[in-house]
Amino acid sequence: MIAPSVTLGEGVVIHHPDLVNLYGCTIGAGSRIGTFVEIQKNAAIGRDCKISSHTFICEGVTIEDGVFVGHGVMFTNDMHPRAVNPDGSLQTDSDWELLPTRVGRRVSIGSNATILPGLTIGEGAQVGAGAVVTRDVPSHAIVAGVPARVIGRVADAPYEIRSSGRK
């Protein structure tokens, strides 16, 4: 389902629109969204991104231009999620703290990675498949493992997001 509250840039491709759940989000021009993806309200996807199947992007996540997100990647936005408050009452939207997450330009996130809330993944970084990211990732770093640790650096080769004239 693609809710009327979704803002789609020019040339966005959504594979199997009947098998996604998009509401209240923004998706930039030229981005591609795979099957069984959920993108929640107040999440933003930049231009020319690829979001692979079975990925969950929750409220408060900002993904900048040219980002690759592998299959089954999970973002989170609350450090202490729970169904009920300490007094036993059901939790409401005002009972939790949204911690925004930012993914910089040209980042690559491997399949089945989990991104904890309130983090920044710096420009050009690479996150290994299955990694659990528990802290900020420096620009151009390669991280892997549980918890994710820096294991190398991405070559700082010049790279530009393609200019297609879209806005």
Just list the catalytic residues.
80
Please report which helix (H) or strand (E) contains residue 14, including its range: strand 13-14
Q: Measured between alpha carbons, how far is 126 from 151 in angstroms, rounded to an integer?
A: 10
Of 64, 159, 163, 75, which Cα lies nearest the Cα of 119? 75
**Helix runs in the chain, H state only:** none
- In sequence order, which residues have a C-beta less than 8 Å from that of residue 149 and are 6 or more positions away? 143
Chain mean position to CA 42: 12
8-state DSSP, 48: T
Residue corresponding to tokens 């936005």:
77
What strands, in cross-sheet order, belong to the sheet with 38-39?
21-22, 38-39, 56-57, 74-75, 114-115, 132-133
Residue corresponding to tokens 């939207």:
93
